[in-house]
């Protein structure tokens, strides 16, 4: 049997996340300083949104291209992983669990969700301006959670709910498993 996907004892990459946040808060502070000097430049504002999105993806993925390798997974994805771990393996699944791309044996897909929607995080970044501590607070709220397509649809109507953490997940309701702690997230 090949390596199963762990549900507990997940690799805690907080130090990597801290390093990324440190880099991106300095980059964002420089960009926001330019915006402060020229707040009516539509092209600049449009490009800032793209730049902010890249920074927000970076701190939720931690390692580029690893959007399914997050600390948090929904109840539905946890069940998918448990099913995946029970399924008989074929040569196609040969490799470490880190190569898992959000699929179980029937290749059911999963989706990377920003716990606090990116639009809200972008607005918060514009609001704090070039303040390093404020930017860091916003980046620390940027978390990724892997959800099933059905759970993603449950979360979608709550995209405009002001969120600082798990508010949308409580409203949906979608339970979340912390793979680092090996326990359910207290919401």
84-136 pLDDT, tens digit each: 777 655 545 444 444 444 444 333 578 889 999 999 999 999 999 999 999 99
What is the span of the domain harbouring residue 99? Answer: 14-184
pLDDT above 60: residue 160: yes
Helix (H) or strand (E) holding 50: helix 42-61
Q: Give 170-186 pLDDT, tens digit per residue.
A: 999 999 998 888 889 99
Q: What's the structural domain count of the chain?
A: 1
Q: Is residue 69 part of a domain?
A: yes
Which pLDDT value is given to residue 117?
A: 92
Average pLDDT over residues 5-24: 72
Which pLDDT value is given to residue 6?
A: 56
Which pLDDT value is given to residue 7?
A: 57
Q: Is residue 7 part of a domain?
A: no
Q: Is residue 99 part of a domain?
A: yes
Which pLDDT value is given to residue 87?
A: 62
8 A C-beta contact, residue 172 and residue 153:
no
Task: Report how far residue 102's alpha carbon sits from residue 30's, in angstroms, rounded to the nearest whole number.
Answer: 35
pLDDT above 70: residue 67: no
Which pLDDT value is given to residue 139?
A: 92
SS3 108: coil
Average pLDDT, the chain: 80
Cα 50 to chain centroid, rounded: 17
Average pLDDT over residues 15-31: 87
Q: What angle do CA 155, 156, 161 make, to 5 degrees?
A: 80
Q: Is residue 1 part of a domain?
A: no
Q: Is residue 37 part of a domain?
A: yes
Average pLDDT over residues 149-158: 92
What are the structure tokens assigned to 61, written together? 């993925």
Which pLDDT value is given to residue 105?
A: 37
Which pLDDT value is given to residue 102?
A: 44
Q: Is residue 3 part of a domain?
A: no
Q: Is residue 44 part of a domain?
A: yes
* Bigger pLDDT: 6 vs 109: 109
| Percent of residues, the chain, with pLDDT higher than 90 | 33
Report which DSSP code applies to 32: H
Q: Is residue 133 part of a domain?
A: yes
């Amino acid at each position: 049997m090949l390596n199963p996907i762990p549900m507990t004892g997940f690799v805690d990459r907080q130090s990597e996340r801290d390093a990324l946040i440190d880099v991106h808060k300095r980059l964002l502070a420089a960009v926001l300083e330019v915006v402060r000097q020229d707040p009516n430049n539509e092209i600049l504002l449009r490009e800032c949104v793209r730049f902010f999105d890249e920074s927000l993806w970076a701190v939720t993925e931690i390692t580029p291209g690893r959007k399914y390798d997050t600390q948090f997974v929904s109840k539905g994805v946890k069940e998918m992983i448990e099913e995946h771990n029970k399924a008989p393996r074929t040569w196609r699944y040969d490799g470490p669990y880190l190569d898992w791309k959000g699929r179980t044996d029937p290749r059911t897909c999963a989706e990377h969700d920003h716990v606090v929607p990116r639009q809200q995080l972008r607005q918060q970044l514009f609001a704090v301006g070039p303040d390093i501590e404020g930017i860091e607070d916003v980046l620390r709220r940027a978390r990724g959670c892997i959800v099933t397509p059905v759970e993603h649809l449950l979360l979608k109507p709550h995209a405009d709910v002001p969120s600082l953490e798990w508010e949308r997940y409580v409203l949906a309701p979608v339970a979340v498993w912390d793979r680092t702690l090996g326990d359910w997230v207290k919401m």
